[in-house]
Structure 1
Amino acid sequence: MTIPYLAQAEEQQQLEWLDGSAFSVLLDKEATEGRLTVGRFDVARGEAPPFHLHTREDEVFMLLKGTALVWAGEEEYELREGGIVFLPRNIPHSYRITSERADLLMIATPGGIEGMFRHAGRDLTAPRPDGFEIPKSLLFEAAELYGGVVLGPPR
């Protein structure tokens, strides 16, 4: 048997994302024949995406290291190291990192959400422009292109 896809850490695309965080594309829809996307966030305290939902995919987050608050609808939960959360499509959600740093694994099915990160994020192999920040308009555009709906500001 052969492995359909294999990429070592140095071969995985890394993108700068919100608040200077890094998002690594571990598996994308091309590598999985559209079945899923797997990504990994390296984030600092306070990193929080806008309150949003996804119309195309279900999402799983596993906190490999650190702590976070997670919102699903109006309910708030604490997520500790090793904790996992399943967020079906169309469920409004967000999170906020509460530890100094966090290592967060994301799995989305079907694949394709990585396009949103590629559309608005900055490839970490390119030089960083002074004061780089993802404009809200670009974040909203990327979300809309990939089936996301921004519902409000970060929590």
Structure 2
Amino acid sequence: MSVALVRNPGEGENYQYYSAVIEQVVSTTETDGAVSVVRLAMRRGDAPPLHTHSREDESWVVLSGRLRFWVGSTTLDACDVRDAGPGAYIYSPRLVPHTFQPLTATAEVLVINNPGAVEAYFRSIGSADARRDGEHTDLLAQYGLTLHGDPPRAE
């Protein structure tokens, strides 16, 4: 990429990941693999399982709603728990277990992966009426992802 990229909300390509629609704000192909950024609209019950990335750092910028983050251990009970509202920035380096979940009915968050190769995993899952992360452990492993347990339950 030889020039700056400006992409306003709604200008990115949308694709289905489980029951969520993700907007690809910037793709790894547009940044020569350096970064992938998606805009994720989440509902109260949406949450990935506690997991670790071995190949990329992950950051989030909360755009709306409130999110709870579990970080730092392979069990939810042992994780550091932090809540984040609009404007918050959260960072988790590779090899640090983490997960997150909306505390409000809906939330919108930018998810930033450096480098951006994990983007291909999200695209390969496609549409499904419910999350089935445990059925994709081989695919997850191809992208350096390890699951540590179930997602947090909505409170």
TM-score in terms of structure 1 length: 0.82
Gaps of 5+ in 2: 73-78
How is 1:21-32 mapped onto 2 (pairs within 5 angstroms)?
Answer: 21-32=20-31
Identity of aligned residues (%): 26
Cα distance, 1:134–1:48 mapped onto 2, change above 3 Å: closer
Following superposition, the deviation at residue 143 of structure 1 comes to 2.0
Which residue number corresponds to residue 14 of structure 1?
14
Which residue number corresponds to residue 84 of structure 2?
79
How is 1:61-76 mapped onto 2 (pairs within 5 angstroms)?
Answer: 61-73=60-72, 74-76=79-81
Contact 1:119 1:142 in 2 (8 A): no
Cα distance, 1:135–1:28 mapped onto 2, change above 3 Å: same
Equivalent residue letter for 1:46: G
Contact 1:38 1:105 in 2 (8 A): yes
Which residue number corresponds to residue 142 of structure 1?
139
Q: Equivalents in 2 of 1:10, 1:79: separation in Å?
A: 24
Asked if 1:133 is matched to 2:130, the reply is yes
Equivalent residue letter for 2:149: G
- Point out 4+ residue stretches in structure 1 off by more than 4 angstroms: 4-11
Root-mean-square deviation (Å) = 2.1
Q: Equivalents in 2 of 1:66, 1:47: separation in Å?
A: 13
Deviations 1:69-105 (A, max 9, x none): 1010211111111111010000000011111111100
Asked if 1:106 is matched to 2:126, the reply is no
Deviations 1:26-64 (A, max 9, x none): 212111001111111011112110000100000110101
Counterpart of 1:104 in 2: which secondary structure? strand
Aligned residues, how many?
A: 145
Equivalent residue letter for 1:118: R
How is 1:42-57 mapped onto 2 (pairs within 5 angstroms)?
Answer: 42-57=41-56
Q: Equivalents in 2 of 1:10, 1:80: separation in Å?
A: 22
Q: Equivalents in 1 of 2:34, 2:82: separation in Å?
A: 29
Q: Equivalents in 2 of 1:137, 1:97: separation in Å?
A: 21
TM-score in terms of structure 2 length: 0.82
Q: Equivalents in 2 of 1:142, 1:99: separation in Å?
A: 31
Counterpart of 1:102 in 2: which secondary structure? strand
Which residue number corresponds to residue 153 of structure 1?
150
